[in-house]
């Protein structure tokens, strides 16, 4: 058994059975080991941002890490932006990054770079294997890190000689660590704050926005009248009919300030203190009022569910019916010209039960919440890191994790361009993803931000840098080029028909929605 084989066996034995790959020469022994040994599903991406984003989406839905296979420093670099998003989403990923053979590094061959230096900013753990006999142990350590709750980015750098030299035996990662329990004092403090009542909110994040936690939050709200908030973005928000609704803190600073202005105490449950996405001249970074007290019931790492159970017990709320529960309420299919409200109605009318919505619609996506919250239960995934190009790759990973569920990827045309190669992997793997590209032919969000930062009205050169209309991107052609069927919609009736077609198909389908 060589080092690569010992690593593949370690990964498979430790429960990592999906490897998303974009290999090069230095990874050929690992590829050969994947080829030879049973148990690992291999999925090819044609760009590394697809690979890392898919691993993020997989973790969010499967709740266990996939491995990635990346080629040296530049291959890892191409995957960094989506590793940034995954790290902020607290997804667990095991990155296997090839490196030149140890003896080759001194010669500064063209592809030589500081691989660990590239890895460090977007990894929670970076390790370079020293010899082939260490590979299995290092691989088990990487799996252990990746599945430490809520999830971490582990990057294992594998010099080619450690893959091809002889190894001993595979290793086994220890059982996934448990989430730490919160201190009883934190539960007491939260209960005291909520009992006081007026102006209180629970701000939910992490697994706090999934079904069992939401139910508990709804019971606590029933007892105390507290508001239920969620962060602007959530790795995986469970919502829809029958589920407790949280109010999302808006992206736009003034709207967020308005929402939060009357709160006197916010209890953080897997969430961080609310902060604006960007800084703007003369506006605050912190969104809660200065005199609002922030206290932490549970961090994103903690046993959030047990903390909420404890809080509900303390408040004697366990037997109450949750409040803020969404009723099944589907809008009529609208007609006429495309409006964002009309799009929301089409989605609300047609989203199937257990759909996984990956939302990277950016400026077009902000108004989709209201008309979709009465659709059957579904998951809503947003970008925790804010680096665009996350959506279609995360959709790939979600579809790999949940073959029985429909994935709906909502994409801005600007954001979709960063990782459009994801379409090919959807086609190759026949993934059940319907993609809606909101074709406003602009970096629309930046047109707003240009004004928000006080730069006034854009002139010709600035407009050129914020618009994508010269030439127009033909998303149907781009989809077909990647082997994905596609159609266009320029009114709401057509959009509804196109969406029905996509939802009815078993493989990927792209809709270019002209705004």
Restricting to residues 150-179, name those near a copy of itself by CB under 8 A: 160-161, 164
Q: Which residue, 474 or 493, is less far from a copy of itself as judged by CB?
A: 474
Least distance between a copy of itself and beta carbon 154 (Å): 18
Q: Which residue, 142 or 416, is less far from a copy of itself as judged by CB?
A: 416
Q: Which residue, 208 or 414, is less far from a copy of itself as judged by CB?
A: 414
Restricting to residues 105-144, name those near a copy of itself by CB under 8 A: 107-111, 113-114, 117-118, 120-122
Cβ distance 483 to 326 under 8 Å?
A: no
Q: Rounded to an integer, what distance in angstroms lies between the CA atom of residue 280 and that of residue 269?
A: 27
Among the listed ranges 55-63, 191-199, 366-374, 418-426, the one in contact with a copy of itself (CB under 8 A) is 418-426
Regarding 478 and contact with a copy of itself (CB under 8 A), the answer is yes
Regarding 49 and contact with a copy of itself (CB under 8 A), the answer is yes
Phi, psi of 186 (to 5 degrees): -65, -40
Instruction: Give the DSSP H or E segment for 18.
Output: strand 18-21
- DSSP 8-state secondary structure symbol assigned to residue 453: T
Restricting to residues 81-110, name those near a copy of itself by CB under 8 A: 81, 84-85, 88, 100-101, 103-104, 107-110
Pairing of strands 93-99, 153-159: parallel
Count of residues near a copy of itself by CB under 8 A: 104
Q: Rounded to an integer, what distance in angstroms lies between the CA atom of residue 40 and that of residue 18?
A: 6
Q: Give every CB contact of residue 438 below 8 A, 6+ residues apart in sequence.
A: 343, 361, 362, 364, 365, 410, 411, 412, 413, 513, 515
Q: Rounded to an integer, what distance in angstroms lies between the CA atom of residue 226 and that of residue 191?
A: 11
Among 321, 327, 461, 506, indicate the residue that binds a copy of itself (CB under 8 A): 461
Q: Rounded to an integer, what distance in angstroms lies between the CA atom of residue 484 and that of residue 331?
A: 30
Q: Rounded to an integer, what distance in angstroms lies between the CA atom of residue 103 and that of residue 121?
A: 26
Among the listed ranges 129-137, 139-147, 362-370, 424-432, the one in contact with a copy of itself (CB under 8 A) is 424-432
Q: Which residue, 375 or 511, is less far from a copy of itself as judged by CB?
A: 511
Q: Which residue, 336 or 471, is less far from a copy of itself as judged by CB?
A: 471
Q: Which residue, 107 or 178, is less far from a copy of itself as judged by CB?
A: 107
DSSP string for 45-77: -SSHHHHHHHHHHHHHHHSSPEEEEEEHHHHHH
Instruction: Give the DSSP H or E segment for 230.
Output: strand 227-230
Least distance between a copy of itself and beta carbon 424 (Å): 7
Least distance between a copy of itself and beta carbon 379 (Å): 20
Nearest to 449 by CA among 416, 411, 414, 490: 414
Site of tokens 């803190």:
249
x/- letters, 202..241, toward a copy of itself (CB under 8 A): -------------------------------x--------
Instruction: List residues bridging with 120 in a β-sheet.
Output: none
The CA dihedral of 305, 231, 440, 409, to the nearest 10 degrees, is: -10
Regarding 289 and contact with a copy of itself (CB under 8 A), the answer is no
Q: How many residues does the chain have?
A: 515
Regarding 385 and contact with a copy of itself (CB under 8 A), the answer is yes
Least distance between a copy of itself and beta carbon 3 (Å): 12
Least distance between a copy of itself and beta carbon 41 (Å): 9
Phi, psi of 157 (to 5 degrees): -100, 125
Regarding 353 and contact with a copy of itself (CB under 8 A), the answer is no
Among the listed ranges 24-32, 254-262, 343-351, 487-495, the one in contact with a copy of itself (CB under 8 A) is 24-32
Cβ distance 330 to 351 under 8 Å?
A: no
Regarding 414 and contact with a copy of itself (CB under 8 A), the answer is yes
Regarding 462 and contact with a copy of itself (CB under 8 A), the answer is yes
Regarding 1 and contact with a copy of itself (CB under 8 A), the answer is no
Least distance between a copy of itself and beta carbon 120 (Å): 6
Cβ distance 442 to 469 under 8 Å?
A: yes
Among 188, 225, 285, 339, indicate the residue that binds a copy of itself (CB under 8 A): 285
Restricting to residues 239-278, name those near a copy of itself by CB under 8 A: 272-273, 275-278
Regarding 294 and contact with a copy of itself (CB under 8 A), the answer is no
Among 230, 364, 387, 440, indicate the residue that binds a copy of itself (CB under 8 A): 387
Q: Give every CB contact of residue 238 below 8 A, 6+ residues apart in sequence.
A: 209, 210, 211, 214, 377, 378, 379
Least distance between a copy of itself and beta carbon 356 (Å): 21
Least distance between a copy of itself and beta carbon 84 (Å): 5
Q: How open is the CA angle 172-175-177, to the nearest 5 degrees?
A: 135
């Amino acid at each position: 058994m060589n080092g690569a084989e010992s690593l593949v066996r370690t990964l498979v034995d430790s429960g990592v059975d999906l490897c998303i790959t974009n290999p090069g020469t230095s990874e050929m022994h690992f590829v050969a080991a994947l080829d030879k040994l049973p148990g690992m599903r291999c999925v090819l991406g044609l760009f590394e941002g697809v690979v890392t984003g898919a691993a993020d989406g997989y973790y969010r839905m499967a709740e266990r890490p996939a491995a990635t296979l990346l080629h040296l420093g530049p291959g890892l670099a191409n995957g960094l932006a989506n590793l940034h998003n995954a790290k902020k989403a607290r997804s667990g990923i095991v990155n296997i990054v090839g490196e030149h053979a140890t003896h080759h590094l001194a010669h500064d061959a063209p592809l030589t770079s500081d691989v660990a230096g590239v890895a460090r900013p977007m990894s929670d753990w970076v390790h370079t294997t020293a010899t082939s006999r260490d590979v299995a142990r290092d691989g088990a350590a990487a799996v252990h890190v990746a599945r430490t709750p809520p999830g971490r980015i582990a990057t294992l750098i594998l010099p080619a000689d450690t893959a091809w030299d002889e190894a001993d035996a595979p290793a086994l990662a220890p059982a996934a660590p448990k989430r730490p329990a919160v201190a009883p004092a934190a539960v007491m403090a939260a209960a005291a704050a909520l009992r006081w009542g007026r102006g209180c909110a629970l701000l939910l994040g992490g697994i706090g926005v999934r079904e069992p936690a939401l139910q508990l939050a709804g019971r606590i709200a029933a007892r105390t009248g507290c508001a239920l908030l969620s962060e602007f973005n959530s790795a995986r928000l469970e919502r829809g009919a029958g589920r407790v609704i949280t109010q999302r803190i808006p992206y736009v600073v003034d709207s967020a300030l308005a929402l939060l202005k009357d709160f006197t105490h916010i209890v953080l449950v897997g969430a961080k203190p609310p902060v604006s996405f960007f800084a703007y001249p003369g506006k605050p970074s912190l969104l809660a009022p200065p005199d609002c007290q922030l206290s932490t019931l549970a961090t994103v790492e903690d046993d959030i569910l047990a903390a909420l159970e404890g809080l509900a017990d303390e408040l004697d709320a366990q037997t109450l019916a949750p409040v803020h529960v969404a009723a099944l309420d589907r809008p009529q299919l609208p007609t006429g010209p495309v409006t964002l409200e009309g799009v929301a109605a089409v989605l609300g009318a047609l989203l199937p039960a257990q759909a996984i919505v990956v939302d990277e619609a950016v400026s077009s996506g902000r108004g989709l919440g209201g008309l979709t919250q009465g659709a059957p239960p579904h998951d809503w995934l947003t970008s925790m890191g804010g680096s665009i190009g996350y959506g279609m790759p995360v959709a790939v990973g979600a579809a790999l994790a949940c073959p029985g569920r429909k994935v709906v990827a909502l994409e801005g045309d600007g954001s979709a361009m960063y990782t459009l190669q994801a379409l090919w992997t959807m086609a190759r793997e026949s993934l059940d993803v319907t993609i809606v590209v909101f074709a406003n032919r602009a970096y629309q969000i930046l047109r707003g931000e240009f004004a928000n930062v006080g730069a006034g009205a854009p002139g010709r050169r600035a407009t050129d840098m914020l618009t994508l209309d010269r030439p127009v991107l033909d998303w149907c052609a781009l989809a077909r080029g990647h082997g994905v069927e596609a159609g266009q919609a320029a009114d709401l009736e057509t959009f509804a028909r196109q969406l029905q077609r996509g939802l009815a198909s078993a493989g990927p389908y792209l809709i270019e929605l002209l705004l």
